[in-house]
Structure 1
C-alpha cells in the first residue's frame, strides 16, 4: 500500500450512518479505513440544515432509542434527545382521537377503554399483538412466516374498521405506503422497538446522529467533497480522475449511486416522500405528538418545535407535514386546507419555509422480506445500506456492521489483516 492519504486497507464510499458504522468497526479491529463522501458533510439522508433560523431535517425523521445498534453505538445523553408523546393522534371525520401507550401513561387507560377509539375486542387484539411483540425473543419474531401487514392484522383478529381508523394511517406514515403491503415481519420488529423504546429527536436535529458517529473516527479518516466516479481493479477512481488504491471497497452510498458503482447489485424500489415545513406564530397543537389522518391526505404532521423548542426561533413554531410523491401545482394549497381541518385552526397566517423531497426515502419491503443480507458482491467488493437489511436507522447501522464483519473475515482469510 502507498503512504499518505492513500494509505488505506479499505475504502468506504459514502458517509451515511451505514458507511460510518462500517468504518468505525473496521478501525476498531485495526484495519486502516478511509471514507470518501461526495457531499460537504457526513450524514447522507440524515442531514439537518439551518434555514432562516429554523432547523430543517432533510425530510421528516425520528430517532428510536430502542434499536439495538443505537444502544450499542451512541451516547444517548450526549445527543440530548427530546421525546415525542408515546402515541399519536388520529384525525377522523368526527374529530381527533388520541392513542397513548397506557403502559407508559396509565392515566390514559380510562379514555382508551371508553370505546371512542375502538371496541373492547379490537383493543384486546391490539394488546395481545403488542404483548407478543414486546415479550417474545426477537429470534422468534424473525422466524414467523412472513405475510403482508394487512394479513397479519386479520390473523390477529383486528377488525377492518379498526385497521382503517388506526393502523392504516399509522402504517402509511411509518412505511410510506397506505396499502398495508409491507412485510409483517418488519412491522412486528418496528412495533416492538416503538413499544420498548422512545421515539425522539436530537436537540440539534437528526444530523447530530451521523456527526456523533463521525466524531469517533480519527482526523482525516473522512474525505468530504470527494465523489467517486467508479471502481477500479485496485480501488476507486474519483471524479477528479485520481485513483485511490485499497484491498477492499465498501459501497455505502445512497441507492442512486449504487447502480453506477456496482451495476450487478439489484436494488428494491424506493418510496419517495415530500415534507412541507411551515412556520406559524404559535403552535397549533401544544404537545409533541404525531398527528395522522384517516383520509390519508398526508402521511403525518407534527409541530417540531413542540418536540424540540430549538427547531424554531423564539416566538415561532415549525410544523412539518409529509406526503407521498413530489410537490406539484396546488398541492401545498390543498395541504393547508387539510392541516387547518386536522389542527382545528386557520393556516392563512402560516408561511411556507421550505419543501424537501427525498427521492429514495425508504426501500419497499414486501414479504418475504429478509431482515439482513450479505454485503459481499465480488472479491474485494461490498455494499451496505438499508436496502441490504430493513428501511430504518437500525437496518442501515446493522448492514454497516455486517459489511465490516465480512470484510474483516475475508481480509484475515487472505492473510491481509
Structure 2
C-alpha cells in the first residue's frame, strides 16, 4: 500500500525535507516538487569569490529539540559563537556576555558600563528560571509583548536600549519588540541552554544534510505549482498530475482555494556582505549597533568562526531590519557610513546584498507545537511550515514531521 500511494510534497525547504524523511521511515516514497534549482527554501548558502554567503545572517541554536532529533551535529561541524555580544555605542565597543558559560567574559561584562547591577542580577535570575521551565509551560503562559515583558521584570531602559532591543530586533526582525513574550522566553531559553552555531560550510549545510539522508524520495526541481486540489496538482507550465496525498510545505494561501483569505504576512530584512582587509578582534561575537535611528542592526565577522570557504580577506555581514525606501546604492552608502561612524570599520569593499522579503512569518498567535490532525486541511491535503507554529527552524521541522504523521494516519486508516 505504501509503495502504491502517490504522495506529493510542495517545497524542498526544511519542512518538506523532514516530511519526506518521516514518510520514508514509514515505507512511503514521496515526490518533492521544488520551484528553484536546489533544496533549502529560506536556508541556503552561496559561494561567491571564494566566500560563503548565507541567505541572510542565520544561526542554528543547537538546543532546538527537533534539530537534535534530525540533524547530525558532528557531520555539520558546528562552529560555536561565544555567549555574548559586542555593543557599538557612540563610536565605542564593549563586550557583554554570560560569564557562567564563558568565564573570560566576566571581567569585560562587569566593566562594560552597560546596565545596572540589578540588571545583571535580573539576567541571572531570568537564565535560571528559563532553564527550569519547559517549552510547553512557556507557551501556556499569559502573553504580552517582549518589550512589556522586559519592563515588567524591572530591566532598566539602558540595558533594554543597548542590549535587548538591538539583539532581539535582529532575531524577531522588528524594532518595537512587539513579538510575543512567549517567543522571547523560548528563544532566550534556547540561547541559555545551548549555543548559537553555524555549520562549517554555511547554514545551507542543514537542508543539504537532510536531503542526503533521503533514499527513495524523488525531487523534481525548477517546477512551480500554481494550485492544487484533492488528488490533483496544477503546474505553471500547464501540466497536471494526479496524486493521492499532498503536503504543502510552503505558504499555501495561493495554492488552495479555501486558504485564499488566510494569506501569511511576512517580516523582511536585508543582509549586505562586505570584505575588509583585517579584523583585529578574533572573538566570534555578534556586533550590535545600539543607536536607535541607525540602519545597521547587527554585524558579524564570519572568519572568526572556522569556515570551509573563507576567501582572502575578512568577510563581514551587515543586517538591516529597518523599513526604508532607499535604493540599493543609497543603502550601501548609508551602511558604509554607519560602519565607519558607529563601528570604526572603514576599509570595506561591497560584495552582495540579499533582499529577503519573506524572512520570518509575522504571526499574531504562536504555539509550542501542532498536532498531526491539525495539519490536515482537506481529506488529502496537509500543511507544513513554521508559519503554522512559530517562526523558528525548530517549528519548521516540527510541522514537517507532524504533517507527515497526519498523512500516514489517514492513509493507513483508508487501507483498513
Fold-level similarity (TM above 0.5): yes
The answer for the alignment partner of 2:258 in structure 1 is: 264
For the residues of structure 1 that align with 2:380 and 2:214, how far apart are their CA atoms?
Answer: 22
For the residues of structure 1 that align with 2:404 and 2:222, how far apart are their CA atoms?
Answer: 23
For the residues of structure 1 that align with 2:157 and 2:255, how far apart are their CA atoms?
Answer: 45
Match of 1:80 among 77, 88, 102: 77
For the residues of structure 1 that align with 2:306 and 2:213, how far apart are their CA atoms?
Answer: 25
For the residues of structure 2 that align with 1:244 and 1:218, how far apart are their CA atoms?
Answer: 23
Q: Is the 8 A contact 2:80 2:197 kept in 1?
A: yes
Match of 1:288 among 284, 289, 292: 284
1:161 shift after superposition: 2.5
For the residues of structure 2 that align with 1:372 and 1:136, how far apart are their CA atoms?
Answer: 16
The answer for the alignment partner of 2:192 in structure 1 is: 195
Secondary structure of the 1:413 match is helix
Alignment of 1:326-405 (within 5 A): 328=327, 329-347=329-347, 350-366=348-364, 368-373=365-370, 374-405=374-405
Q: 1:358–1:284: structure 2 CA closer, same or farther, 3 Å change rule?
A: farther
Structure 2: which 5+ runs fail to align? none
Alignment of 1:57-76 (within 5 A): 57-76=54-73
TM-score normalised by the chain length of structure 2: 0.92
1:220 shift after superposition: 5.3
For the residues of structure 1 that align with 2:412 and 2:5, how far apart are their CA atoms?
Answer: 16
The Cα offsets for residues 280-332 of structure 1, whole Å up to 9 and x where unpaired, read as 1222643221001111421211011222343422x311111010247624111
The answer for the alignment partner of 2:12 in structure 1 is: 15
Secondary structure of the 1:107 match is helix
Q: 1:355–1:284: structure 2 CA closer, same or farther, 3 Å change rule?
A: farther
Match of 2:94 among 87, 93, 97: 97
Secondary structure of the 1:394 match is helix
For the residues of structure 1 that align with 2:363 and 2:353, how far apart are their CA atoms?
Answer: 26
1:2 shift after superposition: 13
The reply to whether residue 316 of structure 1 matches residue 316 of structure 2 is no
Secondary structure of the 1:82 match is strand
Q: Is the 8 A contact 1:235 1:244 kept in 2?
A: yes
Secondary structure of the 1:310 match is coil
Q: What is the number of equivalent residue pairs in this alignment?
A: 406
For the residues of structure 2 that align with 1:115 and 1:85, how far apart are their CA atoms?
Answer: 16
Aligned CA-pair RMSD: 2.1
1:49 shift after superposition: 1.1
Structure 1: which 5+ runs fail to align? none
Match of 2:118 among 117, 121, 143: 121
Q: Is the 8 A contact 1:176 1:362 kept in 2?
A: yes
Q: 1:263–1:359: structure 2 CA closer, same or farther, 3 Å change rule?
A: farther
1:130 shift after superposition: 1.6
The reply to whether residue 25 of structure 1 matches residue 16 of structure 2 is no
For the residues of structure 1 that align with 2:263 and 2:191, how far apart are their CA atoms?
Answer: 27
Q: 1:311–1:156: structure 2 CA closer, same or farther, 3 Å change rule?
A: farther
Q: Is the 8 A contact 2:249 2:384 kept in 1?
A: yes
For the residues of structure 2 that align with 1:261 and 1:219, how far apart are their CA atoms?
Answer: 26
Please identify, of 276-285 and 126-135, the stretch whose mean Cα deviation from structure 2 is larger.
276-285
The Cα offsets for residues 97-127 of structure 1, whole Å up to 9 and x where unpaired, read as 2112111112322443347122111111111
Q: 1:115–1:312: structure 2 CA closer, same or farther, 3 Å change rule?
A: closer
Secondary structure of the 1:330 match is helix
TM-score normalised by the chain length of structure 1: 0.92
